[in-house]
Structure 1
Amino acid sequence: MKNSIILGFLLLVSFWACDSKKSFDQVVEQITYKEVPEFNADSAYQFIQKQVDFGPRVPMTIGHQQTKEWIIAKFQEFGLEVQTQEFQAKTYDNQTWDLTNIIASYNPSAQKRIMISAHWDTRRIADKDTQRIDEPIDGANDGGSGVGVALELARIITSSNLKPDVGIDFILFDGEDDGEPEQTNLRNNSQTWWCLGSQHWSKNPHENGYKAFYGILLDMVGGKGARFYREGYSMYFAKNIVNKVWNYGIELGYSDLFILKDTGEITDDHFFVNKDAGIPMIDIIEFSPEIGFGRYHHTHDDNMDLIDKRTLKAVGQTVLFTLYQE
């Protein structure tokens, strides 16, 4: 592949009469997909590196503030309309955090819209690690990779001569990764403490009556050896979108990453977008039905050594391809 991708396949159907005296010529139906620009995994990788360079993006820290300003500036540089949604939320340990959802819109006048989402915060503790448990993690994959892919999608769409026929809203949620630790004596189950940004946005969208045709959530989409199974809530709320995206990924040559096998339900940002906003959203997330999250999850191993450009390419090209077929 060079400047663009053109995928097509032939469906060959032969019709033969029951009696030997009559036959029909072979009927050939050709289906050609719309042309799609190339996703640049090197660029997405650099967007992840930049986030990690700011340090952990824990809300109410300098790294968090610097990352917010940088993300907003990048979307504006790409020519998107950017707005922020400032709000406050309580944490499981009764802190009050100032949080920000970031919304960047391409082709804002288009009636048919697609949501691309990720979370841009990182976890303040490494509660699954065996050392430095109380220190924040880099979050290169858990947070950084989804934002990196979203930014690269925005850069490509706005800079390419090829344009999708839909409007796209990049909605990056804050406060996703601060749920209560797994230790029993620290748990507070009075409400869902994860996904604070998507919980707020889903009940208070940035525009009154906002609707999207569907959404795609990108979470932990850059790890080495990643496998993406069909997550449970995605299959419940938006099975047809899951099947479409997974089939595109397989047709593009990434059958080793997009696995046609179901896994369990995950309380992630897409759950609240589905439940409270009524927008069918799927989750592309590394979560195995056998082992669950990867061993790096909520540990200090979630750093740049984990990030793999082929994984970024597979996810980015598949999502880009999906957007251009609408």
Structure 2
Amino acid sequence: MNTLCRPALLAIACATLLAPNSRAEGPNPIDADRAFGYLEQLCELGPRPSGSGAMRQQQDLLRQHFAPLADDVVDQRCTAPNPLGGPKVLITNIIARFNPAAEERLIVCAHYDTRPLPDRDPNPTAARAGRFIGANDGASGTALLMELAHHQEALAGPLGIDLVLFDGEELVYNDRRDPYFLGSTWFAMQYKKGKHPGGKYKYAVLVDMIADADLDLYYEINSWRWKDTRPLVQSLWKTADRLGIDEFHPRTKHQANDDHVPLHKIGKIPACDIIDFDYPHWHTESDVPRNCSSESLAKVGWVVLEWIKAEQAQAAAGD
């Protein structure tokens, strides 16, 4: 049995204490201030429900943002009944494509519309006629996709990447009457029929309500229960653990019916929802930028970006 003298043992102990945390991966490449600036810019447009003037302004802003960064920007349109009656509402998904020639692809997606009213506001008058800005519920995921578009070194690989913004996620005035997920349902139907920009999707990652100042992210129950999606969930949360991002908790807590459901049910795409459902300002007038966090946005963005890099490396290796 080999033995070490006391000075050698002391040197090893010191080296262990001074060694960097094995979970660390260097500084977060996501620009937290820039991402949060996008969130604020979107919120300055005011409420952005489907078919509204502010939504059209937002669409112009997003097309202008993605045009110089992505290889292609595609609008995908359909119409939906107006819950209040009158002319149908134009629903427009915006797809920013990277490496559009690649057959195998990944989706990172979010909804960019806001609910028409803050229906859960504790003030009954506000719930019936208030303004819903949707800083976390709508703008946070959109802002993160805007930020991810800058990281072209990760997006340019053997896998094609589609950053997809869904319209009509909650054009809902009455929960018992009005359907959710209009844009993602149309997207999934077109994909199923082969009437989409092209390629086959390996995975879809949905980000929703990811800027909560008190961020806690659990496995979403649908995402975890679907056998084809569970490896995706595990990969994302393991990535967070490797990066030392402790806000990702590897256990289930909430079940969320969200845009990933039609992607999985109709499009048969393994689809995961990264969502913080413990948000006290959900569907209230207080869902505004001051209750959101640039740090939270950056942490989620780092996990998604590192996951994309790992998927690109795996595809390049032929696995």
Which bracket does the TM-score occupy, shorter chain normalised?
A: 0.7 to 0.9
Q: 2:242, 2:36 → 1: CA distance?
A: 24
Q: 1:137, 1:319 → 2: CA distance?
A: 28
- Asked whether 1:142 is paired with 2:142, we answer no
Q: 2:142, 2:300 → 1: CA distance?
A: 12
**Partner of 1:194 in structure 2?**
180
**Partner of 1:215 in structure 2?**
204
What is the CA distance between 1:210 and its match in structure 2?
Answer: 4.2
**CA displacement 1:191-225 (0-9 Å, x = unmatched):** x7111111111101352774211010010011101
When the two structures are superposed, what TM-score results if normalisation uses the length of structure 1? 0.80
- Asked whether 1:44 is paired with 2:35, we answer yes
Q: How many pairs does the alignment contain?
A: 281
Q: 2:304, 2:221 → 1: CA distance?
A: 19
- Asked whether 1:235 is paired with 2:224, we answer yes
Structure richer in helix, relative to its length: 2
Change in 2 beyond 3 A, CA 1:162/1:143: closer
Change in 2 beyond 3 A, CA 1:152/1:298: same
**Partner of 2:146 in structure 1?**
151
Query: Gaps spanning 5+ residues in structure 2: where?
Result: 1-21, 312-319
**Partner of 1:106 in structure 2?**
98
Preserved contact between residue 103 and residue 200 of structure 2 (Cα < 8 Å): no
**Partner of 1:246 in structure 2?**
237
Q: How does 1:29-68 map to 2 (within 5 A)?
A: 38-68=29-59
RMSD: 2.4
- Asked whether 1:273 is paired with 2:263, we answer yes
What is the CA distance between 1:173 and its match in structure 2?
Answer: 0.4
**CA displacement 1:40-98 (0-9 Å, x = unmatched):** 11111011111111111112221110000110111102143011011101255556311
Change in 2 beyond 3 A, CA 1:209/1:168: closer
Return 228-237 or 141-150, whichever deviates more: 228-237
Change in 2 beyond 3 A, CA 1:37/1:221: closer
Return 296-305 or 76-85, whichever deviates more: 76-85
Preserved contact between residue 106 and residue 202 of structure 2 (Cα < 8 Å): yes
**Partner of 1:21 in structure 2?**
none
**CA displacement 1:225-244 (0-9 Å, x = unmatched):** 11111001111230110010
> Could you tell me which of 311, 314, 324 is aligned with 2:296?
311
| Counterpart residue identity of residue 241, structure 1 | L
Return 88-97 or 258-267, whichever deviates more: 88-97
Change in 2 beyond 3 A, CA 1:35/1:224: closer
**CA displacement 1:287-326 (0-9 Å, x = unmatched):** 2xxxxx4210000111001111111111000000000111
Q: How does 1:67-216 map to 2 (within 5 A)?
A: 67-94=58-85, 96-131=88-123, 132-133=126-127, 134-157=129-152, 160=153, 163-181=156-174, 187-188=176-177, 193-205=179-191, 207=196, 210-216=199-205
When the two structures are superposed, what TM-score results if normalisation uses the length of structure 2? 0.82
What is the CA distance between 1:166 and its match in structure 2?
Answer: 1.9
Change in 2 beyond 3 A, CA 1:162/1:94: closer
| Counterpart residue identity of residue 298, structure 2 | K
Return 235-244 or 131-140, whichever deviates more: 131-140
Q: 2:34, 2:239 → 1: CA distance?
A: 22
Preserved contact between residue 91 and residue 193 of structure 1 (Cα < 8 Å): no
Q: 1:79, 1:178 → 2: CA distance?
A: 28
